[in-house]
Amino acid sequence: MRKLIILAVACVLVLAVVPSAQQPDALKAAADSLGAAKINTLQFTGSGANFSVGQNFTPTEPWPRVTVKSYTASINYDTASMRQELVREMGTVMPRGGGGPFTGEQRQVLVVSGNDAWNVPAAPPGAAAPPAAPAPAAAPERMLALWATPQGFVKAAMANNATTRKTKDGTEVSFTVGGKYKMTGILNAQNQVERVQTWIDQPIVGDMLVETTYSGYKDFGGVMFPSRLVQKQDGFPSLDLTIASVTANPAVDITVPANVRGAQPPPVRVESAKLDEGVYYLTGGTHHSLVVEMKDHIVLVDTPNDATRALAVIAKAKEVVPNKPIRYVVTSHHHWDHLGGIRSAIDEGATIVTHQSNKAFLERVAKTPHTLNPDRLSTSKKPLKIQTVGDMGKLTDGTRTIELYNLTGYEHTGDMLIVYLPKEKILGEPDAFTPPATATTPLVVTAVPYAAALYDNIQRRKLDVKTIAPFHGGRTTDVTELAKAAGKSATVSQ
Ligand SMILES: [Zn+2]
């Protein structure tokens, strides 16, 4: 994967290798109309919205919208670099669906240069800026976004022997970046780039379509540029901007920080803690899992992030419970960060236990093409085995019982299953309550209703919970702390 990204970028960097005279006429006309040859760097600003991809309330709803108060993209086409700065804004209530809870303003700085990608964290008040955070997995998406800008698309097409053909929508321009990433665009009758399609690897939905449409072209101080940009990922809007200003050839000097250059994802670490006899809490990363030993098999709850983490979690489950197969993998909800390794679970031969509203989505996920980054399921093509749960479900071997409850009144997602072991009084839950590092730190305001929903469900269903094992954060907790964080008076049943 890594090697291919480097190849891709190296190829794109060699711009304009094909002499202009040999370029298709439609491409030459677009280059003229957009001034592509004269633009080496470009900055554009705007405002609108971005959307939390993979975090919809149900698998059929659009991604949750977050207002973008200001957006600035600074691009250097010669060095294949782009810095995007966003100021996002949130009231006291989160939109329906997931995404990291915050209130007020949130500044994001997302950078790519060649095959390196990183984020610039905000400096805490009065303190020095922390070091750049390498984001190697984001490199292909950001690199393709840079070449999907109108001028970038024309430059990349000319550098990569693009072919053209007439369609009813306009002239279709196609080429492959680095022998791997396909790009297809439509040039309209005014020789403007109207639409660009690219595909990136996504662990769940596979070769994921990223489609950007441009409209309302106008002259921004000598540069023809669209006044509106709408990007969609996997069919739903992911970025929607109204452009305010465009500057041609500003100074854009983006240097890869030393700690980012060539950075690889940190090694996957899975740690296990025994919560009770045959019950293990798997941590060590950003997302945790639960392992429950049954008479002749294992039940695993959540295979998060991606195939790499999922395979490590599966291996750890078999290590803490040796010589038993993983027969069931419960997926807590469909959000992509928790579902990332589901294809590894299907390949493992496990029956996937999920809320009934996810059935159609998982059926699609089990069959999506993964040509950009093939996983084990791409080869094994094992069929999906699925067991759905409505309001509640139960897994039992006659001795141990695992109860699954749909978390109701919960705006984060409609399909959340919390996992309850009545005998051990253990409750596993993702996202509803992530205890802060210390018990005295209050929750982010927008996260309080989630904690309240969990507390209400525990009360309403009369669950006698001794230990809460959250799927985020660094520690287990209890109902007393949950009640306090949720702003409830702690009428704890036990
Ligand atoms: Zn979630």
Look at residue 17 in the predicted model and tell me its pLDDT. Answer: 52
Q: Are strands 271-276 and 236-248 parallel, antiparallel or unpaired?
A: unpaired
DSSP string across 289-336: EEEEE-SSSEEEE---SSHHHHHHHHHHHHHHSTT--EEEEE-----H
123 CB burial (10 A radius; 0-12, 13-18, 19+): exposed
Q: Tell me the CA–centroid distance for residue 61 and ligand 1, in Å.
A: 14
For the chain, give the mean pLDDT: 94
Q: Is the dihedral of CA 253, 259, 263, 269 positive or negative?
A: negative
> Is-contact 98 413, C-beta < 8 A?
yes
Rounded Cα distance, 223 and 221, in Å: 6
Look at residue 438 in the predicted model and tell me its pLDDT. Answer: 84
Encoded tokens for 464: 């006698």
Encoded tokens for 417: 């299953």
- 425 C-beta neighbours (distance < 10 Å), count: 15
Question: What does the radius of gyration of the chain's CA atoms come to, in whole angstroms?
Answer: 24
Q: What is the dihedral of CA 469, 472, 473, 479, to 10 degrees?
A: -40
> Is-contact 478 466, C-beta < 8 A?
yes
Q: Are strands 133-134 and 426-429 parallel, antiparallel or unpaired?
A: unpaired
Distance from CA of residue 169 to its chain's centroid? 31
Q: How far is CA 319 from CA 53, 312, 464, in A?
A: 34, 10, 30
Q: How many CA atoms within 13 Å lie on the side-chain side of 256? A: 19
Q: Tell me the CA–centroid distance for residue 393 and ligand 1, in Å.
A: 20
Q: Are strands 104-113 and 116-119 parallel, antiparallel or unpaired?
A: antiparallel
Q: Tell me the CA–centroid distance for residue 235 and ligand 1, in Å.
A: 20
Rounded Cα distance, 271 and 293, in Å: 17
Q: Tell me the CA–centroid distance for residue 414 and ligand 1, in Å.
A: 10
pLDDT at 441 over 90: no
Rounded Cα distance, 385 and 387, in Å: 7
Helix (H) or strand (E) holding 418: strand 417-421
pLDDT at 7 over 80: no
Q: Tell me the CA–centroid distance for residue 387 and ligand 1, in Å.
A: 20
Average pLDDT rounded to a whole number, residues 101-117: 95
Give me the percent of the chain exceeding a pLDDT of 70. Answer: 95
pLDDT band at 6; cut points 50, 70, 90: very low
Nearest in space to 36 (alpha carbons), one of 224, 257, 232, 230: 224
pLDDT at 401 over 50: yes
Phi-psi region of 263 (alpha: psi -120 to 50; beta: other; left: phi over 0): beta
Q: Tell me the CA–centroid distance for residue 419 and ligand 1, in Å.
A: 15
Q: Tell me the CA–centroid distance for residue 28 and ligand 1, in Å.
A: 47
> Is-contact 451 482, C-beta < 8 A?
yes
Q: Tell me the CA–centroid distance for residue 411 and ligand 1, in Å.
A: 10
Q: What contacts 188, CB < 8 A, 6 or more positions away?
A: 169, 170, 194
Q: Tell me the CA–centroid distance for residue 49 and ligand 1, in Å.
A: 20
pTM of the model: 0.92
Which residues partner with 392 through β-bridges?
405
Nearest in space to 284 (alpha carbons), one of 300, 263, 305: 305
Encoded tokens for 445: 């305001």
Look at residue 178 in the predicted model and tell me its pLDDT. Answer: 74
pLDDT band at 474; cut points 50, 70, 90: confident
Q: Tell me the CA–centroid distance for residue 428 and ligand 1, in Å.
A: 14
Q: What is the pLDDT of residues 312-334, one digit of tens each?
A: 999 999 999 999 999 999 999 99
Distance from CA of residue 208 to its chain's centroid? 12
Q: Tell me the CA–centroid distance for residue 305 and ligand 1, in Å.
A: 12
Q: Tell me the CA–centroid distance for residue 6 and ligand 1, in Å.
A: 32
Q: What is the pLDDT of residues 67-88, one digit of tens each?
A: 999 999 999 999 999 999 999 9
Look at residue 22 in the predicted model and tell me its pLDDT. Answer: 79
Map residue 141 onto helix, strand or coil: helix
pLDDT band at 429; cut points 50, 70, 90: very high
| Start-to-end CA span in the chain (Å) | 52
> One-letter amino acid identity for 180?
K
Q: Tell me the CA–centroid distance for residue 265 and ligand 1, in Å.
A: 22
